[in-house]
Each structure stands twice: as structure tokens, then as C-alpha cells.
A and B are shown apart, each in its own frame.
Chain A
């Protein structure tokens, strides 16, 4: 299976609640449902669109983050990167569930809009799950 590069904005051991003001990013490689490599990098303080451009240049396939505003979200998606946004909770638990193709609904941040945008794992839609943001 192809190795996938995933980035997740983190806050300690949690998914960072807001991408726009995130200070750390976790970069992970996933292969055969397992996390084979991971490293953390500090993010410089910059305006959200600039941050999105910088993250987009990291050669990743997917960005996982908490709340994200419209402009950086557009930049990520226009860069051909799959965006899994408005998720929260323990970063490692999410990453493992994502790598294994497990259900991710429990990680969804509360709010109305996400109900229409079901989360999907990298390995394809799970039963009852339709699409992610792309």
C-alpha cells in the first residue's frame, strides 16, 4: 500500500482546537494501516492563510485539524490536500483510528455543519460514511 503523509495540528497530546492559531504540527507517515514515522515541528506565528500555504508545502496528502476558517481551508483544498477539519480529542487516538480505517465520528467537534460532512478514513468510506471535504 502507498505510504501516506498526514499532518495534524496539535496542542500537547490533543488535536489543536483552532488551526488558524496552531503552534505545533505532527507529521506522520502511514503505511498498511500503521503509523511508521512521526515527528513534531513548531509552526511560526503567522496569519492563517500564510500558515495554510506553509503547511501545504510540506508534501502531505491529508491535513487533520480542529476548527479552521474559510480562507486557509480553501488554500489547503486548492493544494489538492484532503482536509479533515473540525475534529478534536486525543491526537494519537485519532491518528491510530485514522490509520486503521476505523470510525472517526467520536472525534467530531460539536456543531451543525459537520453533520453533513461525514468523516472518512484514508482507506475509503466505511459503511454509512460517504465523503470527506475535498
Chain B
């Protein structure tokens, strides 16, 4: 290429760079910005003149800068990275979702001059995706199920009222998040929101936690201690697992609800409380009241407004939405670039029963993040208990075929044994009563796909 041609090419490249809607900047070996195109100015809100010569992190301000810079990995390993998801913070404090691709900046002689980062603003895409999904959310909760949207619609009104609220639902359905949402939508939002798990504490401890105590009330009570009702002030207090409290405690709680006061342990003087009480349970309080396991008078007192949160299996349409949200959350928290679920993993998660509800789903995604560094979450990134679902069985032939059926059964038995042994191959072989080398041979022969868990390291 002669000089004239070279100059023309450079000019053309500049024109192209200035015309595209993707932000592009380059850095030298000292991380100083050496070029910054027009789209980069528009997305970041930083003018080219202000950006040139500055360190890339003070200009780009991405959540990845500090811990997992894609450009740094490219510069270290010489590898390009394509479409990593992250967010940047604009000069107006707006969080802008972007995708980032990085590669080395190499001249005609093959000399590495630095790195190139190309980024695309996904704000509009995210907005449209939210609209398309028809998802409705409140605070940290999101759902497109009709039942949940009906609840979301009245949270404002419940927040404004001062009535007692009982939130019911299986474990992991978001009872605490719902209580917090009610608090956040109430005039008490600037006051404390306090949660206590009543089921976790014995009566005496629960009372001292909630009502506080006076010095000398019991052996270790050397000074007065304010209880959670005192700490809550005019805020909200969530009594979780109210169904697990004793009848004796229920009497005291009823008094707080009816009289608006309580007596700290060791005191004779009642103390006023203006805290709003929200209760939550995963039990059927009405049934318990019928069996005289829960005070009926307290049940009616706390049951003025009841919000019944549906289990995840009754709002399956939310699974993809929640998965996306948890993946986004974990990507940001762990500075990863996991793009989503593979079709097989999505099918497995869609058909699961979720006894632990949303919390279980979140834990599954968190588990997958341990094994999956980037790209798609695949079935072998899911917890071991899911492994019998994907059934990556070797048989491709007619299931009626005797050999295939035997192989399938054998593969399933081996996979179960491996899962049970925490993927320690020796332990699995011992469990099956076969030699370790036989197990390896069968794994190979049956094309069993194993997760990347190292059972030996795990067990040590």
C-alpha cells in the first residue's frame, strides 16, 4: 500500500468511525485514551477533548473497570472479547447498560499499539424489552403474573393505610420484600424498617429483643436495653414466621396491637409504640386457629389485610424474567459476562417444581455462576440434583432397542452415583461397587457429560 493510499484509507476509517453509532475508543499501553469517536462522546457524555490523554477508567466509568476490565484481559492475553454486558455511569449519574467488545490495536507491522474498546448503548433495547415483556414491578419485585400484578396495584394504598397486614406465602416467595415495599410506599418510608424472625428465637429472647429490658431484669442485664419496637420508632416492624410463636407470646403481641404499648422486661411501666406491625407466615393460620394452635383473636387482629403471595410454580411465566434479573444482578455483583441460559438449561429450569420458590431459583443461578465464568449457563452448571433432568443419555436410536435402553439406564445410574458422591469419581465407583478404571471406561463409552466440579478438591 503506497503512502497516498494509506492516507486515503486513514481518512475513510476516520469518517466511518465518526459515522457509526457504536462508541469506540483506543488506549495506549499506559491506559491513556488516544482516540474517542463521536458516539463515545454521546454515550458517555464526555467530550473528546476532555477524554483524550486521560486514563480510560475516569472517562468510561464502567462497573467492570475495577475488577474485571475486558480491555485489560485483552491487553494481557492478546485475546478479543465480544459483547460483554456491563453498565457505565454517565456524567448525569445515569446507569447506562452497554455491551463491550475489545481487541488489540495492532499496526501494519504487527506492533501492538494498545487496545480498542467498542461499546453499544443498550438503554433503548432494555426499555423496549421491559415493555415487551409486559412486566410490572415494584421496588425489588418483578412479575408478569396476574396474581402478583393485582397485588402490586394495591401496594400504594396499603402503604398509605395504617392497617395491620398479614403476608402469607411459602418460603422464598418474597414476603420480606413485599413488607419492605409496603414500608417504602408508606408515609413511614424515612423511618426504620426492622425485621425479626420470630420462629428463630425462644420466647424469652424474642420478648427481650422486641420489647427490650431494664437493668437487673435478668442475670446479664447490666444496663437498660432498647428493644426493636423502641428502635423502630414510627417505622415498620416485620414479624416473620408469626405462626411459630407461642400462645404466651401471642397474648403479649395482641396487647401491643390493641393498646399500642408494651412493657420492657423488668419494668412495670408500659411504653408507647407507633410502629406499624406487618406479620408474615408460611403457615395456614386459620387452620392453626381451628386447631387451637394460634390465638383466634390475634389472627383476626393481624389479618385485616392479607396478601397471599403465590408460589413460583403458580407463576411460571415469571421464571425467564426472574432468571434474567438474577443473571443481571450476579453479572454486576461478580463482574461477570454470563449472557443467559442455554436452551437446555432453560428447559430444565422451566420444568422444575421449585419447593424453595424464588429464593431457590436465585440460589440455582448463584450456583451456576460458580461454575460458569461467561457465555451461557448450561445444564452441567446447574446443581447436581438437576442432572437427571437433562438426561444427556447416549442413546440416539429407537428407545425400544434393548442395547440403547440398557446403556441409558446404566448412564443414569452412573450419573446419580456421581451426583451423590459429589463428583468424586473414586467415591462414585465405590458406591457402585465397581473399580475406578471401570467407571472411567463406562463414562467414556456412554459419552456421559460431567460437570466441571472437581469432587476431590471439594471433598478435601
Shortest Cβ distance from B96 into chain A, in angstroms? 10
Which of chain B's residues has its CB closest to A15's CB?
A: B58
Tell me whether B332 is interfacial, beta carbon within 8 Å: yes
Name the interface residues of A42-97: CB closer than 8 Å to any CB of B: 45-47, 66-70, 73, 78, 86, 88-89
Q: Which residues of B contact A89 (CB under 8 A)?
A: 58
Q: Of the 9-residue stretches B63-71, B338-346, B420-428, which lies at the interface with chain A? A: B63-71
| CB-based contact A114/B91 at 8 Å | yes
Which of chain A's residues has its CB closest to B50's CB?
A: A110
Give the contacting residue for B58; candidates A17, A20, A78; CB below 8 A: A17
Number of A residues near B (Cβ < 8 Å) is 27
| CB-based contact B66/A18 at 8 Å | yes
| CB-based contact A47/B63 at 8 Å | no
Name the interface residues of B192-243: CB closer than 8 Å to any CB of A: none
Name the interface residues of B84-99: CB closer than 8 Å to any CB of A: 89-95
Name the interface residues of B72-94: CB closer than 8 Å to any CB of A: 89-94
Q: A17-B58, A88-B58 are in contact. Are A45 and B89 (CB under 8 A)?
A: no
Name the interface residues of A1-38: CB closer than 8 Å to any CB of B: 11, 16-18, 20-23
CA distance A97 to B448 in the complex (A): 63
Tell me whether B335 is interfacial, beta carbon within 8 Å: yes
Name the interface residues of B321-369: CB closer than 8 Å to any CB of A: 329, 332-335
Give the contacting residue for A110; candidates B47, B92, B332; CB below 8 A: B47
Q: Which residues of B contact A69 (CB under 8 A)?
A: 89, 93-95
Q: A18-B66, A21-B67, A45-B333 are in contact. Are A109 and B93 (CB under 8 A)?
A: no
CA distance A23 to B46 in the complex (A): 25
Which of chain A's residues has its CB closest to B55's CB?
A: A88
Is chain A's interface secondary structure helix, strand, loop, or mixed overall? loop
Give the contacting residue for A47; candidates B47, B67, B94, B329; CB below 8 A: B329
Q: A69-B94, A70-B93, A114-B91 are in contact. Are A109 and B66 (CB under 8 A)?
A: no
CA distance A63 to B47 in the complex (A): 26
| CB-based contact B89/A23 at 8 Å | no
Most chain B beta carbons < 10 A, residue from A16, A68, A88, A111: A111
Q: A20-B89, A46-B333, A88-B55 are in contact. Are A111 and B45 (CB under 8 A)?
A: yes
Number of B residues near A (Cβ < 8 Å) is 32
Tell me whether B51 is interfacial, beta carbon within 8 Å: yes
CA distance A78 to B90 in the complex (A): 21
Q: Which residues of A contact B67 (CB under 8 A)?
A: 21, 23
| CB-based contact A68/B93 at 8 Å | yes
| CB-based contact A21/B329 at 8 Å | no
Q: Which residues of A contact B185 (CB under 8 A)?
A: none
CA distance A45 to B95 in the complex (A): 18
Tell me whether B61 is interfacial, beta carbon within 8 Å: yes
Q: A46-B333, A69-B89, A69-B93 are in contact. Are A110 and B62 (CB under 8 A)?
A: no
CA distance A114 to B54 in the complex (A): 16
Q: A45-B334, A69-B93 are in contact. Are A109 and B65 (CB under 8 A)?
A: no
Shortest Cβ distance from B339 into chain A, in angstroms? 19
| CB-based contact A18/B62 at 8 Å | yes
Q: Which residues of B contact A17 (CB under 8 A)?
A: 57-58, 60-62, 65-66
Q: Which residues of A contact B182 (CB under 8 A)?
A: none
Which of chain B's residues has its CB closest to A44's CB?
A: B333
| CB-based contact A112/B58 at 8 Å | no
Which of chain B's residues has its CB closest to A73's CB?
A: B93
| CB-based contact B47/A112 at 8 Å | yes
CA distance A68 to B89 in the complex (A): 7
Q: A21-B66, A21-B67, A88-B55 are in contact. Are A112 and B91 (CB under 8 A)?
A: yes
Tell me whether B59 is interfacial, beta carbon within 8 Å: yes
Q: Which residues of B contact A73 (CB under 8 A)?
A: 93
Shortest Cβ distance from B185 into chain A, in angstroms? 16
Q: Which residues of B contact A113 (CB under 8 A)?
A: 45, 91-93
| CB-based contact B333/A67 at 8 Å | no
CA distance A89 to B55 in the complex (A): 9
Q: Which residues of A contact B51 (CB under 8 A)?
A: 110
| CB-based contact B61/A109 at 8 Å | yes
Which residues does A use to contact B, with CB under 8 Å?
Answer: 11, 16-18, 20-23, 45-47, 66-70, 73, 78, 86, 88-89, 109-114
Which residues does B use to contact A, with CB under 8 Å?
Answer: 44-47, 50-51, 54-55, 57-67, 89-95, 190, 329, 332-335
Q: List 16 A-B contacts (CB under 8 A).
A: A16-B66, A18-B61, A18-B62, A18-B63, A21-B66, A23-B67, A45-B334, A47-B333, A67-B61, A69-B93, A69-B95, A70-B93, A110-B50, A111-B44, A113-B45, A113-B92
The 7 closest A-B pairs by CB, nearest first: A111-B91, A110-B50, A67-B89, A67-B61, A88-B58, A17-B57, A21-B63
